[in-house]
Amino acid sequence: MAAVRPCLSSSCRASMVGPRRTYGTRVKGALWDKLANICHVSSLSSFQRVPVSSPVKTTRVAIRAMSSESKPASGLAIDLRGKRAFIAGVADDNGYGWAIAKSLAAAGAEILVGTWVPALNIFETSLRRGKFDESRVLPDGSMLEITKIYPLDAVFDNPEDVPEEIKANKRYAGSSKWTVQEVAESVKQDFGSIDILVHSLANGPEVTKPLLETSRKGYLAAISASSYSYVSLLKHFIPILNPGGSSISLTYIASEKIIPGYGGGMSSAKAALESDTRVLAFEAGRKRRIRVNTISAGPLRSRAAKAIGFIDMMMDYSSANAPLQKELSADEVGNAATFLASPLASAITGAVIYVDNGLNAMGVGVDSPIFAELNIPKDSH
């Protein structure tokens, strides 16, 4: 439901987030037995303890976003060590893009992000000053580490597409190489290749307008920023996506069901995104064995969603009517994305995966007074 301006970070100007820091943590041996890593599909009976050569009860360990375990844990695990992910559309710490970055990092993947150019400075500053430190904590106690941040505006494919008013805009001053083509080239120059591509951005400048009141300009802007941007992203990144890699986007149930208030062409943009997912799955699969899927996520109280104006109402509706009566967490979407990026999903492509507590399965709103006399079960937990 993101309604923010769809830009990601793209240039190679933003290297490490501030000065590189090594995070150390004093971990008691008993703590390892309690840790439950979200990257395990099946629950773990125990957590492997880090070998210690000293008889002391605690050990000092330096941690990165990568997994620190040298021995495989029991159970069916998701291990993305040695894999590199580029996530387009991360500009704060409370959206789905951030949650996906955390989950991928917890599985061992190296994280690169693309941030909308006008939001780049505040995002980097917040990271550098530690404002996101609490939300950077991974399940094993380590911290999410972003290897590099690229300024990106996914509305523009190449420098020739950028109008003069954007070039002269003060919010773009100081940044360079932020079109989709330039970002892909910068990532190739810096890292050679990636294994996972995530599209986590959308923008509908007239999202609060009913479709009948939406202008052509506003409608096409929503399509360009929210669906074609994914086509462009995959088009330019596929040459550096390793065969067998995974590409993931985020969609919303308004693509197939009527959601009053979600206007400005955004419902059409999400429908186009899902249709493109199927076509791209065929083309990218045949071309480089790349799997292409999209996650239809439920409502989240993110900064982007708040721009729509009725996100709290949608969350209340979901809690009242979904089979699972609980608030959806961003981490649940992040975990689903990590599964889709892993070898465990090696035969899944061209799919819309619903992560919405089952709301998509409902045909009626059971909180309607019409059903007041029915004995509708409620969550007793």
Q: What is the structure's pLDDT at 173?
A: 92
Q: What is the structure's pLDDT at 122?
A: 95
The more confident residue out of 314 and 138 is 138
Q: What is the structure's pLDDT at 49?
A: 38
d(CA 142, CA 68): 9
Q: In percent, how much of the chain has pLDDT > 90?
A: 68
With cut-offs at 50, 70 and 90, classify the pLDDT of residue 277: very high
For the question of residue 252 being annotated catalytic, the response is: yes
Q: What is the structure's pLDDT at 302?
A: 63
Question: What's the whole-model pTM score?
Answer: 0.79
Lowest mean pLDDT: which of 25-39, 242-256, 285-299, 335-349? 25-39
* DSSP designation for 154: T
| Residue of 96, 150, 230, 262 marked catalytic | 262
d(CA 96, CA 198): 11
- Average pLDDT in the 344-364 region? 96
What's CA 132's distance to the chain center, in Å? 16
With cut-offs at 50, 70 and 90, classify the pLDDT of residue 30: very low
Q: What is the structure's pLDDT at 4?
A: 39
d(CA 293, CA 31): 36
Lowest mean pLDDT: which of 71-85, 176-190, 358-372? 71-85
Please say if the pLDDT value at position 77 is more than 90. Answer: no
Other CB atoms within 10 A of residue 136 CB? 21
Tokens representing residue 110 in the block: 């190296």
On whether the CB atoms of residues 300 and 96 are closer than 8 A, the answer is: yes
| Residue of 172, 228, 252, 317 marked catalytic | 252
With cut-offs at 50, 70 and 90, classify the pLDDT of residue 305: low
d(CA 296, CA 319): 17
d(CA 319, CA 227): 28
- Average pLDDT in the 134-148 region? 97
Q: What is the structure's pLDDT at 314?
A: 84
For the question of residue 230 being annotated catalytic, the response is: no
Please say if the pLDDT value at position 235 is more than 90. Answer: yes
All structural domains of the chain, each given as residue ranges with its CATH number in brackets, are 84-360 (3.40.50.720)
With cut-offs at 50, 70 and 90, classify the pLDDT of residue 29: very low
Q: What is the structure's pLDDT at 375?
A: 77
- Average pLDDT in the 206-235 region? 97
With cut-offs at 50, 70 and 90, classify the pLDDT of residue 48: very low
